[in-house]
């Protein structure tokens, strides 16, 4: 049996056809029909009025900060229990990260968020809010807190395309949101991202920055500096094909989660869904009862050529962010010490999921 990966790319059938059409048109470089179609498919699925296809979700977060004018020592609040790509753009604009711990939802704690805002030396300008592993954060409470303090909310929905809260797509609640199409995400373009917003002027300005801040003239004229952040037409073609199967991917990921939870629910605590939400279950994640027992499970799975990983190591204990300000109560560190991500590829059979669960139980 070939190695089982955590969340391998899985094509739906039409991707190759659309890539061939892109090649036939000779629109290989950035921009073209399929970039437009990909943006439109996201707008239609997420019911959002503006979308900008980019080469990564990280680029989307960076553009959001830049477009909102957040820079040079400004304080940016962020979830600590996340991947570094969620917070690295804070450093690109020379800002100060202020990390917020999780609560029982595993996502950012509204209580600690409020405490961080009112105890900060100066008023924070923005919040990068991660919807961890595709599950909704407590968006109503968080938005109310930030709205009252005039703090911009940028949703890091990189892992959460296909997740909803109150029947509204995650990533569309705040002032801006981003999705990722990296190779391991629920759908993929091999590498890519999308910036979305209800504000058309915001997206227009971000689009300007994403194409080297070129002025609309015959010659190359630049009044500001920009970036090479746009998605290629070839990758857009893959994205169009992947969007056709997104909903089936979500349902399969949720089925895989249900099998794992049925088989291992007595030995582990699984990441919850907050009320009125439906996550995409991008990865099945769980906590074992004893600290470091997840390391034994990872070793046992690896011996069977099956990939698994610990949960994200919180940003406030990452060496690169040593000394950064944070408001924590130990929750994310506790989860990191006991948690694991299990293989959750949408192409996995029930039998393979059951085999993995059996290995996990034996290792414990």
Separation CA 249–CA 344 (nearest Å): 11
Q: Are 363 and 296 in contact (CB under 8 A)?
A: yes
Cα 180 from Cα 182, distance rounded (Å): 6
pLDDT per residue over 157-181, tens digit each? Answer: 999 999 999 999 999 999 999 999 9
Strand partners, 50: 197
- Do 196 and 49 contact (CB within 8 A), yes or no? no
Domain with CATH 3.90.1150.10 in the chain: 246-363
Query: Is the pLDDT assigned to residue 1 strictly greater than 70?
Result: no
For β-strands 339-342 and 284-288, DSSP reports them as antiparallel
DSSP character string of 201-230: HHHHHHHHHHBTTB-SSSS--BSS---B-B
The band of 29, judged by pLDDT with boundaries at 50, 70 and 90, is confident
Distance CA 329, CA 14 (A): 48
Q: How many Cβ atoms sit within 10 Å of the Cβ of residue 293? A: 18
pLDDT at 188: 98
Q: Which residues contact residue 112 at a Cβ distance below 8 angstroms, ignoring those fewer than 6 apart?
A: 100, 101, 103, 327, 328, 329
CATH class of residue range 15-243: alpha beta
- Structure confidence by residue, pLDDT tens digits, 60-97: 999 999 999 999 999 999 999 999 999 999 999 999 99
Is residue 185 annotated as a catalytic residue, yes or no?
Answer: yes
Is 0.85 topped by the overall pTM?
yes
Tokens of 303: 């011996």
CA distance 241 to 237: 7
- Token reading at 249: 């991917």
Query: What's the average model confidence in pLDDT over 283-289?
Result: 97
Mean pLDDT of 257-267: 98
Name the segment(s) of the chain with CATH classification 3.40.640.10.
15-243
Catalytic residue among 138, 185, 253, 278: 185
Instruction: Identify the pLDDT of residue 31.
Output: 83
Q: Does the pLDDT of residue 47 top 90, yes or no? A: yes
The pLDDT of residue 104: 98
Contact 9, 190 (CB under 8 A): yes
CATH of domain 246-363: 3.90.1150.10
Please tell me the distance from the alpha carbon of residue 221 to that of residue 229, in angstroms, as a whole number.
18
Residue 315: how many other CB atoms lie within 10 Å: 25
d(CA 136, CA 107): 8
Beta-bridged to residue 156, according to DSSP, are: 130, 178
């Amino acid at each position: 049996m070939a190695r089982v990966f955590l969340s391998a790319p899985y094509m739906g059938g039409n991707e190759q056809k659309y890539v061939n059409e892109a090649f036939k048109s000779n629109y290989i470089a950035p921009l073209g029909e399929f970039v437009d179609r990909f943006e439109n498919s996201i707008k239609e699925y997420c019911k959002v009025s503006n979308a900008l296809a980019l080469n990564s979700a990280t680029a989307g977060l960076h553009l959001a900060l830049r477009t909102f004018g957040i820079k040079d020592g400004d304080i940016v609040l962020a979830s600590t229990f996340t991947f570094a790509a969620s917070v690295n753009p804070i450093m690109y604009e020379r800002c100060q990260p202020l990390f917020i711990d999780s609560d029982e939802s595993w996502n950012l704690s509204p209580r600690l968020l409020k405490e961080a805002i009112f105890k900060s030396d100066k008023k924070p300008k923005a919040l990068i809010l991660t919807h961890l592993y595709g599950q909704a954060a407590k968006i109503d409470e968080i938005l109310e807190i930030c709205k009252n303090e005039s703090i911009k909310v940028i949703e890091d929905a990189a892992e959460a395309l296909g997740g909803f809260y109150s029947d509204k797509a995650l990533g569309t609640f705040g002032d801006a949101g981003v999705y990722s199409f990296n190779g391991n995400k629920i759908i993929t373009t091999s590498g890519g991202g999308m910036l979305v917003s209800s504000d058309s002027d915001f997206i227009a300005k971000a689009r300007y920055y994403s194409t080297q801040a070129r002025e609309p003239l015959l010659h190359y004229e630049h009044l500001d500096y920009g970036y090479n952040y746009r998605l290629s037409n070839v990758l857009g073609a893959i994205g169009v094909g992947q969007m056709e199967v997104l909903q089936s991917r979500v349902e399969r990921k949720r089925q895989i989660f249900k099998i794992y939870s049925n088989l291992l629910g007595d030995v582990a605590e699984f990441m919850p869904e907050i009320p009125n939400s439906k996550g995409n279950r991008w990865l099945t994640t769980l906590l074992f009862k004893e600290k470091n027992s997840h390391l034994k499970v990872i070793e046992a799975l690896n011996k069977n050529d099956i990939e698994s990983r610990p949960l994200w190591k919180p940003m406030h204990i990452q060496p690169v962010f040593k000394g950064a300000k944070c408001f924590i109560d130990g929750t994310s560190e506790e989860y990191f010490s006991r948690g694991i991500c299990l293989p959750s590829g949408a192409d996995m059979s029930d039998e393979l999921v059951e085999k993995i669960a059996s290995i996990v139980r034996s290792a414990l």
